[in-house]
Structure formats: C-alpha cells, structure tokens
Amino acid sequence: MNIIAEQIAEFLKKYAPFNQLTSGELAEIASNIRVVSLEKKQTLFKFNDPLHDSFYVVASGVVNISVIADAEESITNKCHEGTIFGLRPFFAKNNYKVTAKAREESLVYAIPIAVFKPLLANNSEVLNFLLENFASNLPEDRSTQGNIVSDGFYSEKQSEAQFFQTLAYNTTPLLATSDNTAQEVAQLMAESLKNNVIIFERNGPIGIVTHADLASKIATGRYPVHTQVSNIMSSPVVTVLENVSLAEAQLLMLKNNVTHLCVTIDGTDKSPIKGVISEHDLIAAQASNPGVLIKEIKRSLSANELKEIRSRLTNLIQSSIQKNIPLTHITNIASEINFAILKRAVELSILELGSPPARFAWLSIGSQGRKEQLLLTDQDSILVFEDVAQDKYIEVKDYFLNLGKKTTSILEKIGYKLCPHGHMGSNMMWCKSLSDWIKQYNNWMNTTRDNTENLSSIFFDYELVIGEQKIETAINKIVFENAYNNTLFFDFLGNDALRKNSPLSFFKKFIVEEEGIHKDKFDIKTRAIMPLVDSARLFALSYEIKGINNTYTRFKQLAIADPKHSEIYLNCAEAYLFLTKIRTLEGLKNEDSGQYINLEELSKIDREKLKNALMPMKELEELIKDKFQLTQFS
C-alpha cells in the first residue's frame, strides 16, 4: 500500500462504519479510492442525475446536500469531514433525489461500490449501519445518522433518539466587550483557531461575532477594520441551558436562522456564559436532524399531509415519554413542531385567498399559547389586523374572517378540534383590528365585574404563530400597563384561580366524578392542572414576568422573582410536570384529551405520586389569598 493509500486508511478508520473493518479491508478500500477535488460551488451530482458507481466521504471542506421543493433549492444537510453521503447507488436504481454541491473548496473520497460491497458479506453491522439510514419509505434527503447523510430516506427512529441526547460543546469560549475593535476580535480568533467570539456586558452575552460576520462586513469594506465590534456583531445572541438536547439545539438554530448558541448558567442572556454550541458541534454529535418534521411541514401542501406529520409527532411524544425523557425536552420540541403546523395552516389559507390586505398577527391562546399542547386537544386563537381606514374596515375584516375560517377548518382536518367556546380567529368576536383589541383588553381588565361573561383567562396566554411581532408587542404592552396595581383585575384572576374544585377531600382522598359517563374518574385537568396554570399566570402578571407563558417556566421564574416562597413555586413546577405526564399518557392510551383518569388503572405507586403532586396546591392557595388579600370567593 502506497503512502497516500495509508493516509486514506488512517483517515477512514476514525469514522463509523469504517472503524469496524479490519486493517486489510481498509487497505483494500483505500487502494481503490479516487480522490475528487471540488472547487467552491462545484456540483458533484445533482437531482435526477444518473447514479454514480461510488459513494462518497468528505475528506476536507464542506459539501451541501439540497433538495428541490416548490421550485426552490433548499439545503437540508451540510457534510463535514468524515461524513458519508451519496449512498443511493447501494440500495436503489433510480436517479439521485438530491444535489451535492461544495460549499467551499473540498476534497472527497469516491469509494467504488464494487469494491466495498463484497466486504459487507462478513460485516453485517456495517451493512445495517448503512441500511438503517436508507431503509425507511419516506422520500427526500433529510437526515444524518452517525457520519452518514442519507440521500433518499428518513428513518423516524433517528429523530426519536435525539430528544435527550445532550451536546459536547466549547466550554472555553472567546470573550470580548463591545468596545473591542473588529481587528482585535479577528486577531483573537486567528490566534486561538476558533471561528466565533461572544460579546458580553456585565455577566451576560449581548452578541456574537463569527468568521461570517468578518467576511461579510469587514472584508467587503462595509465597515473599517477599527470599527467597534458592537457595529458588526449579531445580536441578540440565542442562549440555552447547558443540558440542552441535540434536538432542541438544532430546532433553535433552524428557528432563529443562526449557526451558534450561547450556553449560560440559567439559559438566559442575563447570566454568566458557560460556552458556545456551534453548527459543527451538532454534526459532530453524529445524529440525525430533528428539524426534519419542520422541513416537511414547510413543504406540505394539504391538510392531509400535515395530519400525517402530526400523527408522527404523536408517536414521537409517546415513545419519548416511555423512555423517561424529561417532559420539558419533549414539550419544547413538540411545541415548535405544533407551531410550525399552525403557521403552515395559515400559509395554505393565504395561498388560497391571496395576499392579506393588511398586516396581521395570528396568536395562539390557551394551552397552545403556553406551548403546552402535547395531545390533540382544542384549537384556540385570536386574529389581530392593523388599523385601516374606516371605509376599508369591513372589506379587510371580511378577508381575515375568511382566513380564520379556512385556517380553523384545515386545523380541524389535521385533528385539532374546534374550540367549544368559539375562542378562534374564525369568530368575528375574536377577529378584529389592533385598536379594537386594545379596547377589548382595556375593557376586560378595568371593568372585570361587567365582563365576566366574555372574559376568559386564556386570553392572557398568547403567542405569535405568524405575522407582525409588533402587533403582539402592542397587546403585551397594554396588558402589563393595565395590570400594574390593578386590584380589581387581580381580585378577578385570583378568585378565578381559587374557584376550581378541590382535588382532595378533607381526608386526603381523591374527589372523583359522581355521575355521568366519567363517573368515578378523576378530572385531572379541572381539579389539578388548571389551578396550577391559573396560579402561575396570576403571579406572572403580578410580578411583571414578560415573554414567558409556559406554566412550568413561569413557576421557575417566580422562584427567582419571589425567593421567600421559592420552595412553593418549585414544588408546583415539578407537580405540574408530573400531572401533565399522567394526563398525556392517559390521552395517548385512550386517544382523547386525557382529562379523566381511571385511578384504578394506576399502580399504587403512581396513585401516591399523584396524591403527592397535589399537596403543594394547598400552600399555593394560601399564598394567593395572602398576596391578593382574598378572604372569600364564589
């Protein structure tokens, strides 16, 4: 074996599945490999090309894998050093379904299939390794597993494994202040051989500068080399906790269109920096892309396609709970996929109706707005459009009512039931201009006694699905302005939170339904979960905790805002997670909302855990009465 072949063999044995081959087998492969040099943006093969006689391994550089969707080319994977791609000739006879193009100057090793295939006869693990990345029947090149990029199929199992896979990341990040110059930051990167610097202020990150920023802003002459780094940094930086899963990290990068995440102690930009997760870290983790469902959602053209994706999400949630993966991870990822479905439903409606006549915001409210919807329960939404001239109002409102009706119809076909109370953007009461919505919130919050019929606390849990962020910000502003020192409003919310039926009797026995089709079952939603939801919302508004709707996260933040009672809040946070898990399992088992629990079907241990989860609610009730001076309620 010549020197070049020896070097290739040494390279290959660092990566799966080559590390499972013998030295002799590696030598045979290396001796037959063809080295392909690719210039920047040079195509190796493209969609619908005839299959090659080799598959490929990236030796250096980066090769992008892309698909054609809606007449546009969309990058689905980036193949870095050691990544295998172009496997289609192994398992299929039809043409390539993807395009492979060098993102930069790259070297790839072309491994002849005729040479490699005979080795598989005695290496079933290697064959399975390759086959598992190809053997699903869901087309399109959308996944990576290990060091392989599939160029034809996606295996659902690959996505499941990432819900709890944590990431190795750079724990010694480069740091600079906003006063440093671009030149100083560039020198710092060059000396340390790193491609990013976190810009911090006091204890928290305020931005990030990468090689891409230097190339696009300094090298092009847009900014002088001595400019302050604050002028060229990307801000705000996306922050995460150190135990962020691979799936969450990839979804956050996808959602925010970034290539780096900053790890901080509490996951916010107000706490000390612990490290940086890069796009390369995700690839190095040798796992598939959990954003696959979101990519499929973006390409979906019908309610049926979205329904099929939502059913796969349900399976994913079920299997993840069974593997005891933390519910916080499952909820975070499921909510992003749910929101992508909601957004696509609105987009499909717009495609049918034509461009909106005014800017708007579709806001999810209730459990969707809190990003807590794991089961296929009701849909809840409001539609807000910008103020328009009076003579255009009826025409504009008619368009958005039609948009609301079409969207809710699509969501119903997917499996999200219509809200029985009519809290949807298709209802003319909940589809109106920003000024009308501001009047509505002013009216609700300042004359609560006269508005109890229409006022529902779910209108204070909202999250933008699609549209103008400024509209949601305006709603947020009016809510917190009205909430400030508003005794009557908090009296209403407090009494509403305390009005729910007690879950346990005086003798600590479960209070179950006495009649009807749910006789002898425990209403876990009304008696256990909703009191926690209502209480978390009440305290969050009182302590002006903005931008956080999720009940679990609200309780965690309340423990910081009100340290004197932190133990109560933290106990409630854990109780909420356990109750949600029990309800979700019940709903998945019975294919319903999971609201009513058959206690006899729970193990003795789970019944005790359920009872213990309800204990913090009494302390929470007393805290509400004390803080808001509520002595009686009806």
The pLDDT-based confidence of 1 (bands split at 50, 70, 90) is low
In a domain, residue 162? The reply is no
Please state the rounded mean pLDDT for residues 506-535.
Answer: 88
Mean pLDDT of 251-265: 82
Task: Output the pLDDT for position 114.
Answer: 87
- 70 pLDDT exceeds 70? no
pLDDT score recorded for residue 547: 85
Alpha carbon distance, N-terminus to C-terminus of the chain? 87
Tell me, yes or no, whether 379 lies in a domain.
Answer: yes
Instruction: Enter the pTM of the model.
Output: 0.59
**Average pLDDT value for residue range 599-618:** 88
Q: Are residue 364 and residue 495 in the same domain, yes or no?
A: no
pLDDT value at residue 340: 92
User: Do 122 and 199 share a domain, yes or no?
Assistant: no
State the Cα–Cα distance between residues 5 and 32, nearest whole angstrom: 8
pLDDT value for 47: 86
SS3 of residue 68 by DSSP = strand
In this structure, are 274 and 311 located in the same domain?
Answer: no
The average pLDDT across 577-593 equals 91
**Residue 285: what pLDDT?**
53
* Contact criterion met (CB below 8 Å) for 63 and 37: no
Is the distance from CB of 500 to CB of 526 less than 8 angstroms?
Answer: yes
d(C-alpha 419, C-alpha 425), whole Å: 11
User: Within its chain, how far is the Cα of 371 from the centroid?
Assistant: 10
Residue with tokens 């990468």: 210
State the CB neighbour count (10 A cutoff) for residue 50: 9
| 297, 444: one domain | yes
Kindly report, residue by residue over 356-367, the tens digit of the pLDDT: 999 999 999 999
- Given this model, what pLDDT does residue 158 score? 41
Is 188 part of a structural domain of the chain? yes
Quote the domain boundaries for residue 272.
175-284
Residues 318 and 448 in one domain: yes
State whether 242 and 367 are in the same domain.
no
Range picked from 258-272, 305-319, 563-577 for highest mean pLDDT = 563-577
Question: How many other β-carbons are positioned within 10 Å of the β-carbon of residue 18?
Answer: 22
Token duo for residue 447: 């004359």
C-alpha distances out from residue 59 to 35, 66, 82, 110, 331, Å? 9, 19, 6, 10, 38
Whether the bond between 17 and the residue before it is cis, its omega within 30 degrees of 0, is yes
Q: Around Cβ 62, how many Cβ atoms within 10 Å?
A: 19
Residues in a beta bridge with 111: 55
The predicted structure's pLDDT at residue 97: 81
CA dihedral 570, 171, 258, 179 (to 10 degrees): 100
Strand ranges (DSSP E) for 211-353? 239-240, 260-264, 273-278
What's the structural domain count of the chain?
4
- Among candidate residues 26, 41, 48, the one with its CA nearest the CA of residue 109: 26
Backbone angles phi, psi at 50, to 5 degrees: -60, 150
Give the pairing type, strands 63-69 and 239-240: unpaired
The more confidently predicted of residues 160 and 389 is 389
User: Do residues 427 and 501 share a domain?
Assistant: no
Name 51's Cβ contacts closer than 8 Å, sequence gap at least 6.
88, 89, 92, 93, 94, 95, 96
Q: Identify the CATH number of the domain in which residue 216 sits.
A: 3.10.580.10
Specify whether the CB–CB gap between 264 and 271 falls below 8 A. yes
Cβ burial, residue 451 (10 Å; 0-12/13-18/19+): middle
In this structure, the chain runs to a length of 634
Specify the CATH number for the domain of residue 440. 3.30.460.10
Residue 156's pLDDT is 36
* DSSP secondary structure letters along 594-620: --EE-GGGS-HHHHHHHHHHHTHHHHH
Task: Examine residue 112 and say whether the peptide bond preceding it is cis (omega within 30 degrees of 0).
Answer: no
The whole-number average pLDDT for the span 568-580 is: 93
Does the pLDDT value for residue 320 go beyond 60?
A: yes
Under the banding of pLDDT at 50, 70 and 90, the label for residue 394 is: very high
Clarify whether residues 496 and 554 are in a common domain: yes
Sequence letter at residue 622? E
Q: What is the pLDDT of residues 328-381, one digit of tens each?
A: 888 888 888 899 999 999 999 999 999 999 999 999 999 999 999 898 888 999
163 located within any domain: no
CA atoms of 40 and 62, how far apart (whole Å): 9
pLDDT at 292: 65
Decide if 261 contacts 294 (C-beta within 8 A): no
- The answer to whether residue 608 scores a pLDDT higher than 50 is yes
Whether 270 and 297 share a structural domain: no
Q: Kindly indicate the confidence band of residue 34, based on its pLDDT and cuts at 50, 70 and 90.
A: very high
Given 437, 463, 479, the domain boundary residue is: 479
pLDDT over 80 at 103, yes or no: yes
* 166 located within any domain: no
Percent of the chain past pLDDT 70, that is, above it, reads 86
15 in a structural domain: yes
Nearby residues of 482 by Cβ (< 8 Å), 6 or more positions away: 441, 442, 445, 446, 489
Query: Does pLDDT of 282 surpass 80?
Result: no
Whether residue 40 has pLDDT greater than 70: yes
376 plus 336 within the same structural domain:
yes
β-strands 462-467, 431-433 pairing? unpaired
Q: Would 160 be classed as within a structural domain?
A: no
Element (DSSP H or E) covering residue 432: strand 431-433
Q: Are residues 66 and 196 in the same domain?
A: no
Predicted pLDDT of residue 20 = 86
* Residue where one domain finishes, among candidates 454, 479, 504: 479
CB 593 within 8 A of CB 587: yes
In the DSSP assignment, the letter for residue 54 is E
The whole-number pLDDT of residue 261 equals 94
Residues 306 and 455 in one domain: yes
- Give every strand in the sheet of 462-467, ordered side by side: 431-433, 381-385, 360-365, 462-467
Q: What is the mean pLDDT of the chain?
A: 85
Task: Identify the domain boundary among 102, 121, 154.
Answer: 154
Burial tier of 418 (Cβ tally within 10 Å: 0-12, 13-18, 19+): middle
Specify if 170 maps to a domain: no
Q: Range with the lowest mean pLDDT among 76-85, 153-162, 218-227?
A: 153-162
Distance in angstroms (rounded) separating the CA atoms of residues 198 and 176: 6
DSSP-assigned beta bridge partners for residue 288: none
Q: What pLDDT score was predicted for residue 148?
A: 47
